[in-house]
Amino acid sequence: MLNNSEWEEIKIDLISLYNKKNNSSSEEIENQLLKLLVNNNKIEKLDEKLPAIQIKYILSDREIEVIKKLIDGRTNLEISESLAISISTVKKHIYNIFNKTGVSSRTQLLNLVYNIQLD
């Protein structure tokens, strides 16, 4: 599996390439990349991995719900609508998730989910 810096390099290259052909935002491009990664690498035992992540990083139930939506490649607006919370609340949850897990992007978060070791 790729490490975080390798994921970031790939993401930056893909965003740069995609921007040359399209005027999509970085968030839209990153969400498309996440969808591609999820579709190509189907997370096995996701139902087992998320509780392990929740315990290891002391995440709330709502933060886990947000992570599930992020894994599905949802935008902040889509998460807001599906969970019936404001976009600023979604952003706050994502900020808290990133701080607790030590990641700085959605791609790194997905990588963390893929790589967590179950006991």
Specify whether the CB–CB gap between 105 and 8 falls below 8 A. Answer: yes
pLDDT tens sequence across 24-64: 676 777 776 666 665 555 545 677 788 989 999 999 999 99
pTM: 0.66
Enumerate domains of the chain plus CATH numbers.
Answer: 4-115 (1.10.10.10)
Residue 55 CA: distances (Å) to CA of 50, 63, 100, 110: 9, 12, 11, 17
Total residue count of the chain as it appears in this document:
119
pLDDT interval class at 114 (50, 70, 90): confident
Cα separation of 73 and 6, whole Å?
A: 20
pLDDT exceeds 80 at position 14 = no
Work out the number of other CB atoms within 10 angstroms of the CB of residue 20. Answer: 7
Cα separation of 110 and 16, whole Å?
A: 20
- Arithmetic mean of pLDDT over the chain: 81
Lowest mean pLDDT, pick from 5-9, 38-42, 65-69: 38-42
Residue 100: name the closest of 55, 68, 45 by CA. Answer: 55
Residue 113: name the closest of 28, 40, 52 by CA. Answer: 52
pLDDT exceeds 80 at position 10 = no
pLDDT for the residue 116: 80
pLDDT exceeds 70 at position 65 = yes
